[in-house]
Amino acid sequence: MTREVAYLYCGGKMWPRLIVSLWTLRKHWEGAVRVYCATEKDVDWIGQTCAELGCETVLMEAPEASGSSPRGKLALTQNVVAENIVYIDADTVVEGDISPMFVYPLALTSHGDWTTKGRRVREQLVSYRGYSDLLDPLIALQLEGEYPHINAGTFGFVGGCPQIRLWQEVVGEVVRVIKAHPEQFTKDKTFVPADTAFQLITSQVRHIVLDDRYNCCCRHGLHWDDPIVRHYCGRRHGRNDPHWRNAFLECRERNLGGICDHPRRYDMETKNMLKRYEAGMYDTPDGLSKGRL
């Protein structure tokens, strides 16, 4: 069975973070790596990095996925080249062997020790209730039991397997519900369709939930001192974390993918971190910033 590690690039200022993740992955994985893109422009931006690291780009036939993580992940699972895939979010640093994630038809990862008994997880599930005949019975089962909370920052799957086909159906419905009821799903709340869809199918399909070493979130991870994949969950990579900073600086030393040539492509976290570094604000015994800029 052919294997690959897959990334999604939907443009925007995820570019330097994707370069960093690819750079760290290549220290631990010599096999196929493919970056799935929604537009030719995305392919152009990440193509140089892929060429330097021996990775491939794939232009998906899904222009509607541009700029959208849930639709992008859905399109990725429908366009994968290999048979057995491990997906990794771009805002990550890979620090160990990811090959155990290839063993299962569907390998998911937990979000720390959170479960469906927790208040925040339950509130999120309840928010979707009452809008869909497909989702409502799945939500009821999750609320009745105690299931690990799933984070879709990394997951492994076999292309076209029943588990991933059900997830594709459910994530599409989750996205539809959010779009149809914007007043319920406001920006001040955290609603991640890919996470929710994986959460809902855990009562329906055979799968394994790996511990959070394979997707260790920076705020709630249980194995932050010894992870396989560090996940910065959006814009937290520049907040006094030496692991991402050191990997970013390694990429800048090599100007990997032209990362030094386009600082306007950096997000605010990266810009501020670089300013602190250049000002010597991390020159402390613990390597933490001396304070605000």
Q: Taking the model in full, what pTM does it have?
A: 0.93
Backbone angles phi, psi at 246, to 5 degrees: -65, -40
One DSSP character per residue, 93-138 reads EE-S--GGGGSSSEEEEEEEEEETTSHHHHHHHHHTTTS-TTHHHH
- 100-122 CB burial, b ≥16 within 10 A, e <16: bbbebbbbbbbbbebbbeeeebe
Q: How many angstroms separate the CA atoms of 121 and 100, rounded?
A: 27
pLDDT of residue 63: 54
Sheet holding 216-217, edge to edge: 92-94, 229-231, 216-217
Query: Using CB atoms within 10 A of its CB, is residue 44 exposed (0-12), middle (13-18) or buried (19+)?
Result: exposed
Token pair of 245 as six digits: 């900073």
Query: Using CB atoms within 10 A of its CB, is residue 257 exposed (0-12), middle (13-18) or buried (19+)?
Result: buried
Q: What is the CATH number of domain 3-231?
A: 3.90.550.10
What is the SS3 string spanning 233-284? CCCCCCCCCHHHHHHHHHHHHHCHHHCCCCHHHCCHHHHHHHHHHHCCCCCC
Beta bridge partners of 93: 230
Token pair of 271 as six digits: 């810009």
What are the domain boundaries of the chain?
3-231
pLDDT in tens, the chain (293 residues): 999 999 999 888 899 999 999 999 999 999 999 999 988 999 999 999 999 999 999 999 765 655 557 788 999 999 999 999 999 999 999 999 999 999 999 999 998 899 999 998 999 899 999 999 999 999 999 999 999 999 999 999 999 999 999 999 999 999 899 889 888 876 545 667 889 999 999 999 999 999 899 999 887 778 888 999 999 987 678 776 789 999 999 999 999 999 999 999 999 989 999 998 888 888 655 555 554 44
- Give the C-alpha distances (Å, rounded to integers) separating 109 from 39, 95, 188: 29, 16, 25
pLDDT of residue 218: 81
